[in-house]
Amino acid sequence: MNIRRLPSASNAFKYPLLIKSILAYSVMLEPENEIVYKDQVRYNYFELNRRVRKQANVFKKLGLDGGQTIAVLDYDSHRYLEAFFGVPMTGNVLHTINWRLSPVQILYTINHAEDVVIICHSDFLPLLESLAKEMKTVKSIIVCADGGEYSKSPLLPIIGEYEELLAEASDEYDFEDFDEDAVATTFYTTGTTGNPKGVYFTHRQLVLHTLSVGLTFSAIDGACRFNNSDVYMPLTPMFHVHAWGFPYVATLCNTKQVYIGKFDPETVLKCFVKEKPTFSHCVPTILQMFVSHPATQNIDLSKWKVVIGGSALPKALAKAAILRGVDVITGYGMSETCPILSTVYVSPKDKINPDVDFQVEARTRSGTPAMFVDLRLLDDEGKVAPKDGETIGEVTARTPWLTQGYYNEPQKSEELWFDGWLHTGDVATMNENNSLKITDRIKDVIKSGGEWVSSIDLENIIGQHEAIQEVAIVGIPDAKWGERPHAMIVLKEGKSLTKDDLKAFMQRYVDDKTITAWTIPSSVEFAVAIPKTSVGKIDKKVIRATLLTQ
């Protein structure tokens, strides 16, 4: 195809999409809105900008002049927000370390990312001390002490405490323009086997993701909207996919932001009561705590908007949240996608529908593609599945912000991007309204007697029993049928349930043809807790592995 280009003026400026532009706009509209860290720190956007300049001068003094990796090993905090900007704005790469990984995995990510500096909360110094002899590239460690004391270790290259270093640094810094395709962030995603894989994102990708999320959640009327009048309190770790990108959106919008530090229910509830957040995002487990914890029963949740991700929102939990007044929807994405691919769209008309069951059905789908997101489903033959709400296929994606590969993993990168589309490994249906419904991970779909069984669908049905707090369904090997569903169930306190009770409960869904009798789990296990991954998802590979050893 022929296209036309026109000459530019000799001094015309080609504006690069850089993260510094997000921060610059934070003092444009409501600069007096606050950044809050627990009950310890409170400052406005003018001060955020000043502290980011100071942070940049700390890096400059260390000789970090761009292209080097600076890691953060901290809880959600104002410091983390500052690093979201200060590290990439100096041309360096921010590595957000997942402190919930095993020590061996953390060491791998530090070495693989080639971290030069680690900004580390004092709680994690013993961990780094245990890894000190095997960290290959780390030259400096900056300690975040939260105003307390910390023990200096002769094994670690500690250069000072974060606040003290900032206090000594100049607040004058001129952030340069550079190539918008420069890498800004990296972090690691874990799979079922092998070492964690490093994904990475450029300035251009993060700016475009921020604009898309901002527009998706503010320009379109519907449920769970977000703007600069909100009070934003993330309840997912900042190490996990840029806290879903919302800190960048909140900063661009000059929105008040509240960071809770180390997750502790009592601290979180105190922050909630004091700061009155109106917008959060979290995994279902956290929402479950807010809805069911005795201490929250007298807290008004009617002004709280919540985006659920990481794993499917159970219908029973969605209903409980809606009945408490929570404006809850689900979103879908993954580490490789920056992360947002889709979010639930509930139209203004549907939003006021008083039928709770209607709201549950609408809000627990996986969403409509966000702006600038192309999704297609591929069936077993590699053909594009029709949008009929029934045909399942693997979700493949194209957007401007997908990781372009796995760092130093060429073969896995090619597998990820087979045929020019990013392959998510999730299977789903899509209806005529472009609404996606994830039915399972490819590896979690149960194939029994030649039929496909969705573990997510079974979890939604079983989770609606009044005695059940949480449930996970996995496939276990069966000599005759290939696989059969196994249910791991956590009961609500004071409740009881037998396998026969569960079978009788599920029979009603067989009778109304929602499921077949064949899908009722063959085995049921009652547990105190269900294993979770480092980011709060149900860890089905651990469940399967445990069952195989029994």
pLDDT of residue 322: 98
Is residue 447 flagged as an active site residue?
yes
pLDDT of residue 89: 98
Give domain status of residue 228, yes or no.
Answer: no
Q: Are the CB atoms for 233 and 271 separated by under 8 Å?
A: yes
Which of 192, 217, 244 terminates a domain? The answer is 192
pLDDT of residue 134: 98
- Of residues 189, 267, 285, 391, which has the active-site annotation? 189
Phi, psi of 321 (to 5 degrees): -70, -45
Is residue 244 flagged as an active site residue?
no
* Structural domain harbouring 109: 49-192
Which of 158, 192, 226 terminates a domain? The answer is 192
CATH number of the domain within which 455 lies: 3.30.300.30
CATH number of the domain within which 105 lies: 3.40.50.980
β-pair partners for 384:
378
Q: Are the CB atoms for 521 and 499 separated by under 8 Å?
A: no
Give domain status of residue 104, yes or no.
Answer: yes
Tell me how many domains the chain contains: 2
Is residue 336 flagged as an active site residue?
yes
Angle among Cα 43, 45, 47 to the nearest 5 degrees reads 60
**DSSP H or E stretch at residue 41:** strand 41-44
Whose tokens are 């706009």? That residue is 25
Query: Among 465, 464, 468, which Cα is nearest to 489's?
Result: 468
Phi, psi of 385 (to 5 degrees): -75, 145
- Of residues 447, 451, 514, 546, which has the active-site annotation? 447
Q: Mean pLDDT for each consecutive 10-residue tract of the chain (550 residues)?
A: 97 98 98 97 98 98 98 98 98 97 94 98 97 98 92 94 97 98 96 83 98 97 97 97 98 98 92 97 93 90 96 93 98 97 97 97 97 95 95 96 97 96 96 95 80 86 95 89 92 94 94 87 94 87 87
Query: From residue 381, how far is each of 16, 147, 413 by CA, in Å?
Result: 41, 59, 22
Q: Are the CB atoms for 521 and 484 separated by under 8 Å?
A: yes
Is residue 189 flagged as an active site residue?
yes
Give domain status of residue 181, yes or no.
Answer: yes
Query: From residue 171, how far is each of 18, 59, 167, 337, 525 by CA, in Å?
Result: 21, 13, 9, 35, 59
Give domain status of residue 353, yes or no.
Answer: no
pLDDT of residue 190: 82
Give domain status of residue 9, yes or no.
Answer: no
Residue 27 carries which side chain, given as an amino acid letter?
Answer: V
Give domain status of residue 233, yes or no.
Answer: no
- Of residues 134, 452, 498, 546, which has the active-site annotation? 452
Tell me how far apart the alpha carbons of residues 408 and 97 are, in angstroms, rounded to a whole number: 18
pLDDT of residue 271: 95
pLDDT of residue 192: 53
DSSP, collapsed to helix, strand or coil, labels residue 413 as helix
Q: Are the CB atoms for 213 and 340 separated by under 8 Å?
A: yes
pLDDT of residue 311: 86
Size of the chain in residues: 550
Tell me how far apart the alpha carbons of residues 138 and 269 are, in angstroms, rounded to a whole number: 37
